[in-house]
Amino acid sequence: MKQYSAQLEEQQIEILRNCIGKQIQFVNSPGAENRYNSTYIGSYYSFSISIDNDFFLIFKNVWLETDVYNDYWKLIVECGDKPDGIIYNIKQRSYSGPHFTYHLPQALRLEKIEIYQKTELIGEEQVHFDYAVLLHLEEDITLAFFPMESIADGIEMNTNKEHINQALNDCSLRKVIM
């Protein structure tokens, strides 16, 4: 049986760990849409989260295929001094050009991060991949990031706990960062 794996690397886990206890107030994307007037937001590019107005936590997704064309995904976590794909003046902390912004009701502290993995057995192939990263904020607010399975490199964000739990039905908790 051939096996494939796509998990966050230790350097990416450390980026997430460094965000614990810091404030989040908004999420940006160079191109995102609120689908079906719901808590589901899809982006064909990436999501960038301002952390303490100091740096950006960036989520991306890469579509992968096995030798016999079974799909799986690799979530990518990066850190940057500007949001991904958006024109941004670092000194003035200002944006220009088209972009999407999701505002939280106020700046909220990031309390915990969970990483969920999915394992699929398809014919003679088995794939293991990190399927979701959940950011748990104070005020009982969760931001969840998943691959957008219908679009190759798309990524989605969801804030509805019921929808998040449904998406995690076939997943197992791999790591908790506090």
| Residue 171 C-alpha from the chain's centroid | 16
Query: 76 with 11: CB under 8 angstroms?
Result: no
Strand (E) or helix (H) holding 14? helix 10-17
Nearest to 41 by CA among 143, 158, 135: 158
Helix (H, G, I), strand (E, B) or coil at 55: strand
Q: What is the pLDDT of residue 178?
A: 95
Query: 78 with 135: CB under 8 angstroms?
Result: no
Per-residue pLDDT tens for 38-65? 677 888 899 999 999 899 999 999 999 9
Q: What is the DSSP letter of 93?
A: T
Q: What are phi and psi of 35, to 5 degrees?
A: -90, 140
Query: 79 with 17: CB under 8 angstroms?
Result: no
Strand (E) or helix (H) holding 165? helix 161-167
User: Can you tell me the mean pLDDT for 2-11?
Assistant: 97
Residue 35 has pLDDT above 70, yes or no: no
Per-residue pLDDT tens for 123-155? 899 999 999 999 999 999 999 999 987 677 789
Q: What is the pLDDT of residue 37?
A: 62
Q: How far is Cα 159 from Cα 177, in angstroms, rounded to an integer? A: 19
Per-residue pLDDT tens for 62-82? 999 999 988 999 999 999 999
Burial of 31 (0-12, 13-18, 19+ CB in 10 A): middle
Higher pLDDT, 82 or 97: 82
Q: What is the pLDDT of residue 97?
A: 83
Residue 36 has pLDDT above 70, yes or no: no
User: Can you tell me the mean pLDDT for 100-111?
Assistant: 93
Q: What is the pLDDT of residue 41?
A: 85
Q: Which amino acid is at 152?
A: A
What are the distances in angstroms from CA 6 to CA 32, 58, 61? Answer: 24, 18, 11
